[in-house]
Structure 1
Amino acid sequence: MTATHSFSTLVPDVILDAVESTGLWSDSRIYPLNSYENRVYQIGIEDSSPVIAKFYRPERWNEAQIQEEHQTLLKLKAAGVPVVAPLEFNGASLFEHKDMYFCLYPRLVGQHPEADNLDQLYQLGELIGKLHQALSTTMFKERLNVSPLAQMDVAANQILTGNTLLKAPLPKALQLPEKLKPLYIKQIARLRELSEARIQAYWPTQLRPIHGDSHRSNLMLHEGQFHLLDFDDCQNGVAVQDLWLHITQTENPRQQLSEIIEGYESYQPFETRELDLVDVFKSVRVISYAAWLQSRWHDPAFVKAFSWFGSEEYWINHLNELKSCELEWGQISR
């Protein structure tokens, strides 16, 4: 893979050539789907159903990591877990075209879960329990191991210094304003202190393979059954990471939590002490999201979709969100 590659070269002819290199014949219809980290398109196929083409962001995952993702999905599908696995052509699921890795998926039509539907939350718990049960025998060898404090430190340091992994310097307009840095340092220190205390009080003796980013947009209700999509962030982590994102009520989350866990325990026992880690993962997600937007500033898709990013108002709102993480600390585990 070349270091200079970017999505700017991913023009329609390149997309179609890549798809047709697998042996399919397109009808030249390309429909971009909502994806920022990678590029995803629905491609029309002659005399057949459309396929979904996913082009991986260069230099994010290496070939072995993507292959492990694909092999996991294919094994899950074979085991009857409702996931969307990549299509295989002559025994291969990962391909390279113009220095970019890509794969094809079958198109799945359906709806995302309703945030406050308790019946659906129970079903989501069942699905994730079934997933964790199927994954329980083999740890990922190529994917990342979750490390909340390290992730928090890296993201916060980037925001404070403006130093990303990009070769070009980060524009001043996208950096945290100097006058807000003392407040940010204080708030991060407080969340890190709380997080470290929680992790010291309980951390599982062994991590487990998980989806890693099972928010509502990565679930699809298709023909009466929920399917898990997009294992791009699969990793060795903690079971509750795949559950807490579905808790949307802030005043009384217990009812939602009860439904999710009840469904989960249809397949897997749930260690309730993991609930003490929800605040940790929530704080890390809030910090990391801001750092992620900052590190992708050079991507035109981000400039267009997140034009509000980087203003003083944005950073003030970000600080308020971090403060909310502190004020709501312990609400789930109480």
Structure 2
Amino acid sequence: MTQQHPYGALTPDTVINAVESLGLYSDFRQYPLNSYENRVYQVGIEDSTPLIVKFYRPGRWTPAQIQEEHDVLAMLDQQGIAVAAPMTFDGKTLFEYNNFHFSVTQKLTGMPLEAGDLDQLYAIGELVGHLHHQTQTWTTPKRPLIEPKVRTLTASKLVENCPFLPKTLVARYRQLAQQLIEKMTITEQRCPTNRPRFIHGDCHRSNLLNCEGTLTLLDFDDCRMGLAIQDLWLHVSEADTKQQQLSELIEGYENYHPFDTRELDLIDVFMAERHIAYTAWIAERWQDPAFPAIFPHFKGEDFWLQHLNDLDDILKQWGQWR
């Protein structure tokens, strides 16, 4: 909670100078885009289309880990999968300026996806299936699998020690976290699955763009080894129709790649992990000025009551994905 803000030196001049260090000429227009973990800007280029410039959060990934992501994107682009791949300058895609690592991509225009649209869910399934088929033999040695239970244990301790968690709720939080971790352990033991494989890692609706009918995958910042279901379940938006939505996703997916239905039982595991890890992420990043501005409610009791209710709902609905 006391970490120094990593973007304090990322001034508007630094953004422009970083872009121009690549031999580009900016028209000095820059517009910040929604990105909490990294900093992303649309930067105007003289007599040309604006470009998207991404500054990676210092200390999160090593240069080798970022380069592994770039290499994956280059291969996907070559294989005809619609992704936002970084541009190459003098044979490189990753650059450094004033101790910030950054990359540049072309600006994409398109429409966001609609939650729960069955036709779009089918198309999303096809895109993810195509991605998984083309990458079925790939590994990412620098971004290995992280067991969800391990991540949840670490995150739950961070949340438990968060000063904004009301002391009157600590015992209830600790009990819910322990119950969820026990459920995760039992479910993982009961559900053997295929080997880990390359995944996008954060494949939610906001990381997809409909570019004139072509669904394009954005932001591979969390790509790593994992399970196929991790790239599918986040697109289920309505609890009342979750089986129907999953059915559309899987039907589209299997046009390109077989799906191991045993992984459906692990959705609860990944859901519990994501809820706890998300809350821990906000706590861990609180010294970044962007976070108090975006999540002012994080300090209020209502946020924590809702978080505990969400965890309780996961427990009550565990095992109902088939």
| TM tier, smaller | over 0.9
Distance in 2 of aligned mates of 1:32 and 1:257? 34
Q: TM-score, normalised by structure 2?
A: 0.97
Displaced runs of 4 or more, over 6 A? none
1:63 maps to what in 2? 63
1:190 maps to what in 2? 179
Post-superposition shift, 1:296?
0.6
Aligned pair partner of 1:280 in 269, 275, 279: 269
1:66-102 CA-to-partner distances (Å, cap 9, x unmatched) read 0000000000000101111000001100000000100
1:216 maps to what in 2? 205
1:12 maps to what in 2? 12
Alignment of 1:178 onto 2:172: no
Distance in 1 of aligned mates of 2:268 and 2:216? 27
Aligned pair partner of 2:193 in 183, 196, 204: 204
Alignment of 1:238 onto 2:227: yes
The answer to whether the Cα contact below 8 Å between 2:145 and 2:224 also exists between their aligned partners in 1 is yes
| TM alignment of 1:296-315, pairs within 5 A | 296-315=285-304
1:116-152 CA-to-partner distances (Å, cap 9, x unmatched) read 2111101000000011111111111111313110011
The answer to whether the Cα contact below 8 Å between 1:198 and 1:277 also exists between their aligned partners in 2 is yes
1:147 maps to what in 2? 147
Residue type of the partner of 2:87? L
How many residues are treated as equivalent by the alignment?
320
Post-superposition shift, 1:310?
2.2
Alignment of 1:35 onto 2:35: yes
1:327 maps to what in 2? 316
The answer to whether the Cα contact below 8 Å between 2:194 and 2:260 also exists between their aligned partners in 1 is no
Distance in 1 of aligned mates of 2:304 and 2:212? 42
2:121 maps to what in 1? 121
1:25 maps to what in 2? 25
Post-superposition shift, 1:251?
1.6
Post-superposition shift, 1:291?
0.4
2:92 maps to what in 1? 92
Aligned pair partner of 2:236 in 229, 234, 247: 247
Post-superposition shift, 1:203?
3.4
Post-superposition shift, 1:204?
2.4
Alignment of 1:159 onto 2:148: no
Alignment of 1:225 onto 2:210: no
Distance in 2 of aligned mates of 1:159 and 1:224? 41
CA-based RMSD of the aligned residues comes to: 1.2
Residue type of the partner of 1:70? H
Post-superposition shift, 1:317?
1.2
Distance 1:278 1:136, change over 3 A: same
Post-superposition shift, 1:5?
7.1
1:170-219 CA-to-partner distances (Å, cap 9, x unmatched) read xx3x2x22221111111111111111111001132410010000001100
The answer to whether the Cα contact below 8 Å between 2:193 and 2:260 also exists between their aligned partners in 1 is no
The answer to whether the Cα contact below 8 Å between 1:5 and 1:99 also exists between their aligned partners in 2 is no
Distance in 2 of aligned mates of 1:303 and 1:146? 28
Post-superposition shift, 1:4?
6.6
Q: TM-score, normalised by structure 1?
A: 0.94
The answer to whether the Cα contact below 8 Å between 1:138 and 1:209 also exists between their aligned partners in 2 is yes
Post-superposition shift, 1:261?
0.3
Distance in 2 of aligned mates of 1:20 and 1:7? 19
1:166 maps to what in 2? none
Distance in 2 of aligned mates of 1:95 and 1:237? 28
Distance in 2 of aligned mates of 1:16 and 1:207? 40
Distance in 2 of aligned mates of 1:226 and 1:84? 11
User: Percentage identity across aligned positions?
Assistant: 48
Distance in 2 of aligned mates of 1:311 and 1:243? 32
Post-superposition shift, 1:161?
2.5
1:52-75 CA-to-partner distances (Å, cap 9, x unmatched) read 000000000000000000000000
The answer to whether the Cα contact below 8 Å between 1:211 and 1:242 also exists between their aligned partners in 2 is yes
Residue type of the partner of 2:294? A
Distance in 1 of aligned mates of 2:237 and 2:145? 26
The answer to whether the Cα contact below 8 Å between 2:5 and 2:287 also exists between their aligned partners in 1 is no
Distance in 1 of aligned mates of 2:144 and 2:7? 24
